Structure 1
């Protein structure tokens, strides 16, 4: 039997984790560097499968070989969801709840936006913004203005006074079946995900609503594979903030907490392998490692599982994550208390947030 090859547009940490997840399945997963492309021919075969670890990539001979392959799964969807204008338009077309918004064009006036959406209006670049980048606040009290080069390149969104942020990771199979992980509770700091907790029984009442929303989106796109949906919780309702047509940071907890990780689930869907609802072995806390040097004390924690990305450490850069199994409340409290002693100031608030959920 010929080994199935899966090529990944991108060779960052998500590509590496997909490759790792493919090994037990006997899949040959090959992440490809598309940021430093070459003119080399990749040697793609007709039966090979193509996926991506990111929504956008530079055009080159390498990326064209992959993106123009007939087995590039979800090919047109990446660009559609990478643009916030077309992503938001899709949500409106499907009647999936999201924050009120509009395109910022040449005629848009600040006064009109404040009249429509209130004293604080969030502008988001249509493409390229992530981890809090590509955002600009219009504040009526400060008479903030629309940046000149943002017209037709940004959307305006009503500021949402949300209670908390949650995300749902699900998968859709080639025959249209959808299965899901439990909702994750997320904490962002300066626009960057710092920690996720899943599952939490108090989020159970929101699970059916979230699954219905993501099912509508994946079915509407005829999507195949793992997709993540980030939401604001406002009371007992959810509003979609962003969609990611790929494995996602807030699903990293599944590597430790479930018998099938999001990475394996994605590969199973792409290669039409058997899929069933992932079994949660135990609750888990995921801590993102942002701009910090590797500390081997982390793996001295009895419930700690480290994923280090071997990237140059820079301020604000994701360089790894730490999964903590939450078998007992006491175990979480002990591990978080240790991390509070070992980790820098920017981690004190996120670690306290985790402790509060387990107090």
Structure 2
């Protein structure tokens, strides 16, 4: 079997590695050059994009921001999973909010802004504490602005004045005092079978995910059921095939959807070593029409992103249950260079291992790690 992935980054690489034992050959598309490449070496393959599309059993994506003309060409093959409309939802916050509201899935109170004058009404309706997001091309904290006091509104308008809001509207959300950020990763097969992984708790710094812990601590049966129902509503409502990630805010006993990612997701990387079947394995199974794998966790796990640095000792590999996944990128600020997975038999043991891991890493590049280790040691 052959799968063609649009995007040639680390997610395509991890899909390739998951495909090898399944006998699935994964190829990648460098969407900038529209060249078919090997997902690990990034070397061009001796075939055109059209030849790769024709030879593939399934087409899929590793990120949402694939140029639309490429998605349209892929959709014509009838092999693109998830479908083009779903991928476009993940790339456009206006479409995303429309989908959530149409399916009656709870999300942050919001307004769509196509003219800066509308921001006055946003303050009047949603309050003076707002998060303003570009509807397209924003990720990892980019394309976002905050308003914490109405007195700063005019200065914010001046800051945004160069934007073309007709082409790229803003989504203005009420800034919520949520308890924590969670995510649910699940899979839906071609036949409609759904499986989900345990909820993960996600710790962010400057808009980027730094640490995920799964299963999340202190999760009630009611909260789990609510998250699973949200996933099912979305997956069935979109006739989805593949892995879907749903980022959530927990506000007391209620979950609100923050964002959707129609693909394998950073907060699911813990499944590589912490679950019976990884998200990458299950995504390939789904798009290839194979039986889905078990999503049960093997024990408490943590995923630690390596962001913008390479300067640390590989002695961390001596920690039992610690695995390094390196992406082979050139280092630059805020770039995800790799991740570290840690598995344990209990949350306390996981906390101890993370505390040991923190001793081998530069604190400035891993600002959430030591505090999370201490929290888990007390669970």
Q: Distance in 1 between matches of 2:24 and 2:55?
A: 16
Q: Distance in 2 between matches of 1:202 and 1:334?
A: 19
1:299 to partner: Cα distance? 1.3
Q: Distance in 2 between matches of 1:302 and 1:107?
A: 54
Structure 2 residue 332 is matched with structure 1 residue 325: no
Q: Distance in 1 between matches of 2:103 and 2:11?
A: 29
3-state SS of the aligned residue for 1:57? Answer: coil
Q: Distance in 2 between matches of 1:209 and 1:330?
A: 27
Number of the residue aligned with 2:145: 136
3-state SS of the aligned residue for 1:88? Answer: helix
Number of the residue aligned with 2:4: 7
Number of the residue aligned with 1:209: 226
- Aligned 8 A contact 1:167 1:250 in 2: yes
Number of the residue aligned with 2:165: 151
Q: Distance in 2 between matches of 1:90 and 1:297?
A: 47
1:281 to partner: Cα distance? 1.4
Number of the residue aligned with 2:209: 193
- Aligned 8 A contact 2:351 2:376 in 1: no
Question: Judging changes above 3 Å, is the alpha-carbon distance between structure 1 residues 102 and 306 closer, same or farther for their aligned structure 2 residues?
Answer: same
Number of the residue aligned with 1:305: 323
Greater CA drift, 331-340 or 220-229: 331-340
1:112 to partner: Cα distance? 1.4
Number of the residue aligned with 2:62: 53
Number of the residue aligned with 1:90: 99
Structure 2 residue 263 is matched with structure 1 residue 257: no
Greater CA drift, 37-46 or 265-274: 37-46
Q: Distance in 2 between matches of 1:281 and 1:38?
A: 39
Q: Distance in 2 between matches of 1:164 and 1:150?
A: 33
Structure 1 spans left out of the alignment, 5+ residues = none
- Aligned 8 A contact 1:287 1:323 in 2: yes
1:341 to partner: Cα distance? 2.2
Question: Judging changes above 3 Å, is the alpha-carbon distance between structure 1 residues 257 and 59 closer, same or farther for their aligned structure 2 residues?
Answer: same
Out of 261, 270, 283, the residue aligned to residue 266 of structure 1 is 283
Aligned-CA RMSD value: 2.0
Structure 2 spans left out of the alignment, 5+ residues = 37-46
Q: Distance in 2 between matches of 1:358 and 1:237?
A: 27
Q: Distance in 2 between matches of 1:110 and 1:242?
A: 22
- Aligned 8 A contact 1:282 1:325 in 2: yes
- Aligned 8 A contact 1:340 1:348 in 2: no
3-state SS of the aligned residue for 1:131? Answer: coil
Q: Distance in 1 between matches of 2:308 and 2:336?
A: 6
Q: Distance in 1 between matches of 2:291 and 2:244?
A: 18
Q: Distance in 1 between matches of 2:176 and 2:284?
A: 35
Number of the residue aligned with 2:354: 336
3-state SS of the aligned residue for 2:219? Answer: helix
- Residues 209-228 of structure 1: matches in 2 within 5 Å? 209-228=226-245
Structure 2 residue 178 is matched with structure 1 residue 169: no
Question: Judging changes above 3 Å, is the alpha-carbon distance between structure 1 residues 212 and 108 closer, same or farther for their aligned structure 2 residues?
Answer: farther
Q: Deviations over 1:67-93 (max 9, x none)?
A: 543211222211122100010010000
With structure 2 as the length reference, what TM-score do the two structures score? 0.88
3-state SS of the aligned residue for 1:36? Answer: coil
3-state SS of the aligned residue for 1:342? Answer: coil
Greater CA drift, 37-46 or 321-330: 37-46
Size of the aligned set, in residue pairs, is 355
Number of the residue aligned with 1:71: 79
Greater CA drift, 323-332 or 10-19: 323-332
Greater CA drift, 29-38 or 283-292: 29-38
1:22 to partner: Cα distance? 0.6
1:313 to partner: Cα distance? 1.1
- Aligned 8 A contact 2:12 2:28 in 1: yes
